């Protein structure tokens, strides 16, 4: 996963927060994915496709006062979501 790239939730995916974390539903494949981390769901909900993923992640971890190890856990989870085509790279518009 390229942390210098911008990402967004796939157009075919919908994110829904739940008490245990959240659900991601892929409309095109009709698959449902369980996310067992409310923090990961909050991060995915706050994705800004015009800013690099690594910058957003650093800011999120600092704002939530999460441990430094949490960043690595997030990177692994985000990599898996990208592998499942739930996160897609975005080319930010040029100014």
pLDDT digits (tens, 9 = 90+) for 57-81: 999 999 999 988 999 999 999 999 9
Among candidate residues 58, 60, 51, 56, the one with its CA nearest the CA of residue 89: 51
The reported pTM is 0.89
Region at 34 (left for phi over 0; alpha for psi -120 to 50; beta for the rest): beta
**Per-residue pLDDT, 68:** 86
Q: Which residues of 9-41 are buried (b: 16+ CB within 10 A; e: fewer)?
A: bbeebebeeeeeebebebeeeeeeeebebebbb
Q: How many residues does the chain have?
A: 95
Confidence of residue 1 (pLDDT cuts 50, 70, 90): confident
The alpha carbon of 36 is separated from its chain's Cα centroid by a whole number of angstroms, namely: 13
Residue 8 to residue 77: CA distance in whole angstroms: 14
**Per-residue pLDDT, 91:** 82
């Amino acid at each position: 996963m390229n942390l210098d790239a911008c990402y967004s939730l796939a157009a075919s995916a919908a994110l829904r927060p739940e008490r245990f974390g959240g659900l991601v539903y892929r409309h095109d494949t009709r698959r449902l994915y369980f996310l067992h981390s409310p923090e990961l769901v909050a991060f995915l909900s706050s994705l800004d496709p015009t800013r690099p993923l690594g910058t957003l992640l650093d800011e999120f971890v600092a704002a939530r006062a999460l441990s430094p190890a949490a960043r690595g856990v997030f990177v692994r989870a985000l990599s898996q979501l990208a592998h499942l085509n739930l996160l897609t790279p975005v080319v930010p518009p040029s100014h």
